Amino acid sequence: MFKSLAPPEYLATIDREKCIRCKRCIQNCGWGVYSWGGDKIVINTSKCVKCLRCYHYCPEEAIEIVDNPTKFKNNAYWGFHNIRNIKRQAETGGIPLTGMGSDLPYTILFDNLLIDACQVTNPSIDPLREPMELRTYLGKKPSSVELEKGKDGKPRLKDRMPPQIKIEVPIIFSPMSFGSISLNAQKVLAHAARECGILMNTGEGGLHEDLLPYKDNIIVQVASGRFGVNPEYLNAGVAVEIKIGQGAKPGIGGHLPGEKIPLEVARTRMIPVGTDALSPAPQHDIYSIEDLRQLIYAIKEATNYKPVSVKIAAVHNVAAIASGIVRAGADIVYLDGFRGGTGAAPSIIRDHLGIPIEYAIAAVDDRLRQEGIRNEASIIAAGGIRSSADAAKALALGADSVAIATAALITMGCTTCGKCYTGNCSWGITTQRPELTARLDPEIYADRLVNLIHAWTHELKEILGALGINAVESLRGNRERLRGVGLDTQTLDILGVKPAGR
Amino acid sequence: MFEIDAAGIYYRDLNARIREALAKGEKEVTVRNVNGQYYIGDGLSGNATIVLEGVPGNDLAAFMDGPTIRIKSNAQDNIGNTMNAGKVIIEGNAGDVLGYGMRGGKLHILGDVGYRIGIHMKGNKKQSPTIIVGGTAGDFFGEYLAGGLLILLGLKPDGPIVGDYLGTGMHGGTIFVRGEVDKKNCGAEVGILDPDEDDMKVLKNALTEYCADLGLDIKEVMSKKFKKLVPVSSRPYGNLYAY
């Protein structure tokens, strides 16, 4: 057989002295790297993705996964992945797929923004001893309120408040569909969302009946493939999200490979087993803001006016588009930035289309304020939120809440190997193979995810305390409390942030 | 029979009144003077019959889950959007994007339809949608079809029966066209076959109900030969990617 000229990225190695031939690595590897050769473990390193499942389950610490030292000649212009992709394309004629968010070294604005703190002239607050408000309400806010006296003599709102979704922390889980991730992974998210008083999002793969008990913490999604969308589904959650785009693949459709469509996924999505689940690039009934409005209100009519969110990828003209979305009647605008993750996207799209979320938040928040419609919708920012600091910076730039997905998956064992599209995830997350998904015990892993949200909650409170503010509402859009480091004047201007030292 | 006069009523109020009538147990509702109101029948369940006089607006029967709607004139766009069950009978022409993502139920249209009909319809053993068009259709008929049945009759065409890109991206379901189909009008994913006996049973079954609904002669409708269009692959884009 012709040996691939695309060299393996990693070398899986076993210390033969330490190996006790227990074969746990063979059992654990979903990629088929290891096999039994009669007297020893045989390694096919070309299949290794460095997900480290074998390393963690080797009782003797005999396994080491190293980056392949035999790379192409160093070249500052022609990188390893440029050359390797060309070789793969020469062999297959195909579009290289990838998973997770882009890992290319574009400037990371979050890392060039620093948060203010109180010293001497204004007191900081100790969140351990003083109340700190992180509770957030997502939805349309009235531009003014009028009070009237109720029958009991107490004041009450004259007009009805638009529907609001209460979340205890401004961190929710991004949409990930049943199909792209396993049902057990969705259960982890649902369980943790309920425990933390936040939200998970079904993504576009429909709602499996096992998730119904968590419906008060679920947003259901309607995307171009309309998988699993019926009146019951629309009414199941607290809100409905129309998915227009995704940060990792702006402007292109979804493509869940047939390998990830066994019976359960096919049933939930209502498509044949083993076909590719195709989500067309556009929603075929939406070619304009007016069309979007039509779908938003079709959903509202069908759900007795539940809040509707519209998710778009952050693209060049994001501010004008977001304005249109708000005017179309959306209650929430969900912005997904360039670094946003994916279960499967062409790497050429993921790595080269869209704009980072930091710019998008600032631009959209600015535009909606200028137009006097910022209160008409909440902004959820997603696409590469790695820590509570990223979350705090996103809030300060103008988001009402952030959404996380990769960080949540990391608590389940994910090492961001980026091979989600193959359906072989050895951690049982982005796979539908029953022997692999069984590894992800929803209850055990939900605890880990709850821990993460609690830890980030504490950190957010510490950040607020240091800023001397006791409610996240005072951080929202408060760009005065951010400073840029090493950013040029124009970038600072777009972000609405002063340089450090000013 | 319950009657509603829709003249000058905002869609939200009209739909509330229809819902209210159905909630009271009305089995037949006639709405007169309909004039472009959106979302009639949106998300409705049950088994009532709603008769519309006048031209209803877009997104009629979106997400609908059971009722029958008879439209005694032309209709507009987006009818049966993601519809789950029930039936819409249109005694005239209809617009674009009918039955998008439809999951069950029937659209019976007497006249012509526009572009993008039956995009990404789905079906399984339990439920499967059917769209039957008596006249002609525009481009992208049955694009991304994943399940269900699309029948195009072209009963009185003064030109071509169907536009281009017929069945593009189709990966499930069946399309029947009365008359000939030119391969050059079809997407690359479409195979053109002659229907066999079983297919003719399916056709006759579907068309008998259609003809009864719209007062047509089943013999005349079945008098011409049909072509059957099926996906050549359940994974039309399986080779597009390098793993």
Half-sphere exposure of A339 (CA within 13 A, CB side): 26
Contact state of B122 with A271 under an 8 Å Cβ cutoff: yes
Residue type, A79: G
User: What is the average pLDDT across B10-36?
Assistant: 96
Nearest chain A residue to B44, by CA: A302
Number of Cβ pairs < 8 A linking chain A and chain B? 141
Residues A258 and A313 in one domain: yes
Within 8 A of B43 by CB-CB distance, chain A residues are 231, 234, 301-303
| Per-residue pLDDT reduced to its tens digit, B62-78 | 999 999 999 999 999 99
Q: Which domain holds residue A76?
A: 10-94
Q: How far is the C-alpha of B38 from the C-alpha of B169, rounded, in Å?
A: 30
Which has the closest alpha carbon to A52: A68, A66, A35, A70?
Answer: A66
What Cα–Cα distance (Å) separates residue A218 from each residue in A238, A432, B117?
6, 22, 32
User: Is the Cβ of A267 closer than 8 Å to some Cβ of chain B?
Assistant: yes
A166: which strand partners? A137
Q: How far is the C-alpha of A83 from the C-alpha of A166, rounded, in Å?
A: 49
Contact state of B241 with A346 under an 8 Å Cβ cutoff: yes
Which has the closest alpha carbon to A298: A243, A223, A234?
Answer: A234
> Other CB atoms closer than 10 Å to residue B215's CB: what's the count?
8
Distance from CA of A261 to the nearest CA of B (A): 12
Residue A157 lies in a domain: no
Within 8 A of B12 by CB-CB distance, chain A residues are 301
* CATH number of the domain that residue A20 is part of: 3.30.70.20
User: Is the Cβ of B138 closer than 8 Å to some Cβ of chain A?
Assistant: no
Residue B97 lies in a domain: yes
The set of residues, in sequence order, having a beta carbon less than 8 Å from that of B195 and lying 6+ positions away, is B176, B203, B226, B227, B228
User: What three-state secondary structure class fits A480?
Assistant: helix
DSSP B131: E
| Per-residue pLDDT reduced to its tens digit, A184-230 | 999 999 999 999 999 999 999 999 999 999 999 999 999 999 999 99
Element (H, E) at A136: strand A136-138
Q: How far is the C-alpha of B109 from the C-alpha of A438, rounded, in Å?
A: 48
Nearest to A270 among B97, B122, B238 (CB): B122
Alpha-helical segments (H) within chain B: 11-23, 197-214, 218-221
Contact of B2 with B28, CB cutoff 8 Å: yes
Q: What is the pLDDT of residue A124?
A: 94
Nearest chain B residue to A276, by CA: B235
Q: Which band of pLDDT confidence, cut at 50, 70 and 90, is reported for residue B243?
A: low
Residue A111 lies in a domain: no
* Cβ under 8 Å to B: A residues 282-301: 284-285, 294-295, 297-299, 301
Residue B103 lies in a domain: yes
**Best mutation target, B14, B234, B239, to test chain A (most A CBs within 10 A):** B234
Which has the closest alpha carbon to B77: B57, B53, B55, B104?
Answer: B57
Q: How far is the C-alpha of A366 from the C-alpha of A382, rounded, in Å?
A: 18
Within 8 A of B42 by CB-CB distance, chain A residues are 298, 301-302
Residue A327 lies in a domain: yes
User: Is the Cβ of A234 closer than 8 Å to some Cβ of chain B?
Assistant: yes
Tokens in use for B142?
A: 């049955």
How high does pLDDT run on average in chain B?
A: 95
Distance from CA of B153 to the nearest CA of A (A): 24
Residues A280 and A408 in one domain: yes
Tokens in use for B63?
A: 């997400």
Residues A73 and A220 in one domain: no
Residues A89 and A210 in one domain: no
Residues A349 and A229 in one domain: yes
**Best mutation target, B19, B230, B232, B243, to test chain A (most A CBs within 10 A):** B243
Q: Which domain holds residue B157?
A: 93-231
Give exposure, A125-152, as e/b (b: 16+ Cβ within 10 Å).
bebeeeebebebebbbbeeeeeeeeeee
Contact of B99 with B83, CB cutoff 8 Å: yes
* Cβ under 8 Å to A: B residues 10-69: 12, 15, 38-39, 42-43, 45, 58-59, 62-65
Contact of A256 with A224, CB cutoff 8 Å: no
Nearest to B43 among A257, A280, A302 (CB): A302
Residue B151 lies in a domain: yes
Tokens in use for B132?
A: 């039957």
Q: What is the DSSP string of A391-424?
A: HHHHHHHT-SEEEESHHHHHTTT------GGGS-
Residue B200 lies in a domain: yes
Residue A123 lies in a domain: no
Nearest chain A residue to B116, by CA: A284
Q: What is the pLDDT of residue A2?
A: 65
Residue A122 lies in a domain: no
Distance from CA of B236 to the nearest CA of A (A): 8
Within 8 A of B39 by CB-CB distance, chain A residues are 297-298, 301
Nearest chain B residue to A285, by CA: B97
User: Is the Cβ of B120 closer than 8 Å to some Cβ of chain A?
Assistant: yes
Q: Where are the beta strands (DSSP E) in chain B?
A: 2-5, 28-35, 49-55, 65-71, 85-90, 106-109, 130-133, 146-152, 172-178, 190-193, 226-231, 241-242
Within 8 A of B146 by CB-CB distance, chain A residues are 270-272, 275, 278
B177: which strand partners? B152, B227
Q: Where are the beta strands (DSSP E) in B119-158?
A: 130-133, 146-152
Q: Can you give the pTM of this predicted structure? A: 0.95
Q: How far is the C-alpha of A355 from the C-alpha of B144, rounded, in Å?
A: 30
User: What is the average pLDDT across B81-109?
Assistant: 97
SS3 content of chain B, % helix, strand, coil (to 5): 15, 30, 55
Distance from CA of B11 to the nearest CA of A (A): 10
Domain count, chain B: 1
Within 8 A of A269 by CB-CB distance, chain B residues are 122
Measured in whole angstroms, the distance separating CA A44 from the mean position of its chain's CA atoms is: 32
Contact state of A231 with B65 under an 8 Å Cβ cutoff: yes
> Other CB atoms closer than 10 Å to residue A46's CB: what's the count?
17
User: What three-state secondary structure class fits A59?
Assistant: coil
Contact state of A275 with B39 under an 8 Å Cβ cutoff: no
Residue A370 lies in a domain: yes
Give exposure, A201-239, as e/b (b: 16+ Cβ within 10 Å).
bbbbbbbbeebeebeebbbbbbbbbbbbbbbebbbbbbb
Helix axes A388-397, A357-370, angle to 10 degrees: 30
Element (H, E) at A312: strand A308-313
* Cβ under 8 Å to A: B residues 155-214: 169, 171-172
Distance from CA of B217 to the nearest CA of A (A): 34
Residues A48 and A190 in one domain: no
Residues A188 and A75 in one domain: no
* CATH number of the domain that residue B203 is part of: 2.160.20.60
Contact state of A301 with B243 under an 8 Å Cβ cutoff: no
Q: Which residue has the tokens 């609001």?
A: A164
Phi, psi of B132 (to 5 degrees): -120, 125
Contact state of B84 with A230 under an 8 Å Cβ cutoff: yes
Within 8 A of A96 by CB-CB distance, chain B residues are 241-242
DSSP A74: P
Within 8 A of B138 by CB-CB distance, chain A residues are none
Domain count, chain A: 2
The set of residues, in sequence order, having a beta carbon less than 8 Å from that of B104 and lying 6+ positions away, is B83, B84, B85, B123, B127, B128, B129
Which has the closest alpha carbon to A111: A498, A364, A482?
Answer: A482
Residues A76 and A140 in one domain: no
Residue A218 lies in a domain: yes
**Best mutation target, B38, B40, B63, B79, to test chain A (most A CBs within 10 A):** B63
Residue A35 lies in a domain: yes
Nearest chain B residue to A305, by CA: B12
Which of these three, A35, A65, A94, is where a domain ends? A94
Nearest to A284 among B12, B119, B239 (CB): B119
Residue B195 lies in a domain: yes
Q: How far is the C-alpha of A24 from the C-alpha of A14, rounded, in Å?
A: 12
Phi, psi of A403 (to 5 degrees): -125, 140
Nearest chain B residue to A345, by CA: B241
* CATH number of the domain that residue A486 is part of: 3.20.20.70
Measured in whole angstroms, the distance separating CA B166 from the mean position of its chain's CA atoms is: 16
Residues A189 and A47 in one domain: no
DSSP B159: S
Maximum alpha-carbon separation in chain B: 61
Q: Is the pLDDT of residue B238 over 80?
A: no
Q: What is the pLDDT of residue A136?
A: 98
**Best mutation target, B20, B168, B241, to test chain A (most A CBs within 10 A):** B241
Residues A61 and A189 in one domain: no
Q: Which residues of chain A have pLDDT under 50?
A: 1
Within 8 A of A257 by CB-CB distance, chain B residues are 238, 241
